[in-house]
Amino acid sequence: MQRAQYTERGPVPQASITAVEFTLPPLGPGQVLIKVLAAPINPSDVLTLTGVYGMLPPLPAVGGNEGVGMVAELGPDVASPAVGQTVLLPVGAGTWSTHMVADAAKLMPLPNGVDPQQLAMMTVNPPTAHLMLKEFVDLQAGDWVIQNAANSGVGEYLIQLAKIRGLKTVNIVRRESAVAAVKAMGGDVVLVDGDSLPKQVAAATQGAKIRLAIDAVGGKSTDNLANCLTEGGVLVNYGMMSGESCVVSPSSFVFRDVTLRGFWLALWFRKATPPQQMAVFGELAKLIASGKLTARVQATYDISQIKEAVAAAAAGERDGKILMVPKN
């Protein structure tokens, strides 16, 4: 058994983490042994390793906040889930591992026979996209939504979820080379960010009144989105890929009553009831199982390759998600 563990944090994320061998104790009452099938590396994981994320686990810690596994063994007094059942791994449980122990009562069964790599990415990015589309503005079929970082994991899920709801998307990327992939994912309009963005968006949407903007970049890009919103529009920020704070001109606030909000999935988890969480995950699991919701995977790595995997995930230009897929 191996897991990816770190005892310190620093500016080079891959330097802090290493693969170590470990042995699990016998299962206790109510526990099951899980063989990890796949676990992604998200931007939040990289930020956690550098020490700048909003929530940091105590050290030493095992990396990984989401993934899927297969029940390999049942502890005393456990009847379900059955051995061989695919399950969603507990959020924040340290999922970059070959095996882990979990309480059976806290596991969510997932459909067997579905690509585990797609299911592994279900806990963070899809609900982030789903909730930002749902919680801030009452959008109706035919409405437009604009987002930047459209080639990110959240961005691609948002495009697909919007299309399922009959919404249209304006998708902003930071480089021309990313345009084709976003169009292939189903983006209605795809543009490269810049000072002329509001004029380009107005022309591409025939002057549509856009009431919701989703920002993952920060800096001047936030202001570019704000300038595309109609009066009373809402701009939701969930990241700062630029490394800069959000910038919004006072004219957006004063003359067009634009509202800037923030979204952090971890905070939603704290407030949502277990039935609310299960409802969201149940809906997303069905969409993934049916093939209506997918994400691109750039590469997969074994736990023993954790340093290479984290370095790849932290790279500036990627063409899909990096996943940990244990070989054993």
Q: 290 falls in which pLDDT band (50, 70, 90)?
A: very high
Helix (H) or strand (E) holding 100: strand 99-103
pLDDT digit string, tens, across residues 197-212: 999 999 999 999 999 9
pLDDT digit string, tens, across residues 251-273: 999 999 999 999 999 999 999 99
Q: 143 falls in which pLDDT band (50, 70, 90)?
A: very high
User: Torsion over CA of 279, 128, 294 and 321, rounded to 10 degrees?
Assistant: -140
Would you kindly state where each structural domain of the chain is located, as residue ranges? 2-121+295-324, 125-266
pLDDT of residue 55: 85
Q: pTM of the entire structure?
A: 0.89
In angstroms, the CA 206 to CA 132 distance is 25
Burial 188-207 (b: 16+ CB within 10 A, else e): bbbbebeeebeebbeeebee
Asked if 53 is an active-site residue, the reply is yes
pLDDT digit string, tens, across residues 172-182: 999 999 999 99
> Average pLDDT of 8-17?
95
Q: Is there a contact between 104 and 78 (Cβ–Cβ < 8 Å)?
A: yes
Please name the fold of domain 125-266.
Rossmann fold (3.40.50)
Cis preceding linkage at 81, omega within 30: yes
In angstroms, the CA 289 to CA 279 distance is 15
- Out of 6, 53, 157, 238, the active site residue is 53
Of 3.30.450.20, 2.30.40.10, 3.90.180.10, 3.40.50.700, the CATH number of 2-121+295-324 is 3.90.180.10
> Average pLDDT of 124-129?
95
DSSP calls for 27-74: P-TTEEEEEEEEEEE-HHHHHHHHT-SS--PPSSEE--S--EEEEEEE
Beta bridge partners of 102: 32
